[in-house]
Amino acid sequence: MRRRIIAGNWKMNKTPSEAVALVNELKNLVNNPEVDVVYCVPAIDIVPVCEAVKGTNVKVGAENMYIEDKGAYTGEISPDMLVDAGVSYVIIGHSERREYFGEDDEFLNLKVKKAIEKGLTPILCCGESLEQRELGITMDWIRMQIKSGLAGVDKKDVANMVIAYEPIWAIGTGKTATSDQAQEVCKGIRDCISEMYDKETSESVRIQYGGSMNAGNAKELLSKPDIDGGLIGGASLKAEFGDIVNA
Ligand code: 13P
């Protein structure tokens, strides 16, 4: 049985002091020992949030990282810095990074490998645009993202990682994929991993849905057999996040 994982992606929200206030506000609401709870927070919030979650069930994630250990890469953050600060997860290849910062599958594959090398758990994101969905190429596109993103990654590492399926048209739009649409793609991802590796690996990897997930639709989405959790944007910034964790 795969353990559920509910992660908040705070995106570019919350100053350090606001971040600590949010952690404290959510503390008792997300205290569910049956679920892995993760806050993926802006880089500048990582240190205070790691401090604020001490002694709770919450783990901290980064929203991004660079592929080198150190050096002249102005503005970047290394995986060693994240690990030293107490980070356990890192989001890789969110559609906003792909779209606004030109991150491609090849580069993201390097990030996945680097994160694993350093002991961070990657949350590798994939997802189709509305145009791709309407063209009927959703699963072709997702399979390409998964195959490129995981190229050369060992099966034991794939088994321990997290994949987030986030249809781009559902992100921040209030339009959630139906639970059947989300299940279909999450199962497709698992089948793809089974073909690339084996059934055991595909049964172990955890697959999240993300895109306008909220307290109202979480239970239905999470009832599907291949949806093991959620990656939540807007609703992770308020008390509602606790309802999703407990859904
Ligand atoms: P929303 O929940 O705001 O739609 O964002 C989803 C997302 O992009 C999480 O990574």
Report the CATH fold assignment for 4-245.
TIM Barrel (3.20.20)
Nearest protein Cα to ligand 1, atom 5: 233
| DSSP state at residue 197 | S
Is residue 42 scored above 90 in pLDDT?
A: yes
Ligand 1 contacts CB of residue 210 (under 6 A): yes
Q: What is the pLDDT of residue 184?
A: 98
Distance (Å, rounded) from C-alpha 194 to C-alpha 188? 10
| DSSP state at residue 82 | H
Distance (Å, rounded) from C-alpha 3 to C-alpha 229? 9
Distance 9 CA to ligand 1 centre (A): 7
Please give the positions annotated as active site: 94, 166
The 10s digit of each residue's pLDDT in 110-166 is 999 999 999 999 999 999 999 999 999 999 999 999 999 999 999 999 999 999 999
Nearest protein Cα to ligand 1, atom 2: 233
Distance 212 CA to ligand 1 centre (A): 6
Share above pLDDT 70 across residues of the chain, in percent, rounded to a whole number:
100
User: Please, which pLDDT band fits residue 43 given cuts at 50, 70 and 90?
Assistant: very high
The 10s digit of each residue's pLDDT in 164-188 is 999 999 999 988 999 999 999 999 9
The 10s digit of each residue's pLDDT in 216-231 is 999 999 999 999 999 9
For 230, residues 6+ apart whose C-beta sits below 8 A from its C-beta are 6, 7, 208, 209, 210, 213, 218, 221, 222, 244
Distance 70 CA to ligand 1 centre (A): 30
The residue to mutate among 6, 9, 63, having the most atoms of ligand 1 within 8 angstroms of its beta carbon, is: 9
Distance 110 CA to ligand 1 centre (A): 24
Q: Region 83-89: what's the mean pLDDT?
A: 98
Ligand 1 contacts CB of residue 11 (under 6 A): no
Ligand 1 contacts CB of residue 109 (under 6 A): no
68, 70, 75, 76 alpha-carbon torsion, rounded to 10°: 30
Q: What is the pLDDT of residue 96?
A: 98
Q: Report the nearest atom of ligand 1 relative to the CA of 214.
A: 2
Nearest protein Cα to ligand 1, atom 1: 233
- Pair 196, 150: CB distance under 8 Å: yes
The 10s digit of each residue's pLDDT in 201-214 is 999 999 999 999 99
Is residue 1 scored above 90 in pLDDT?
A: no
Q: Report the nearest atom of ligand 1 relative to the CA of 213.
A: 2
Distance 241 CA to ligand 1 centre (A): 12
Residue ranges per domain, the chain?
4-245
The pLDDT mean for the chain works out to 98
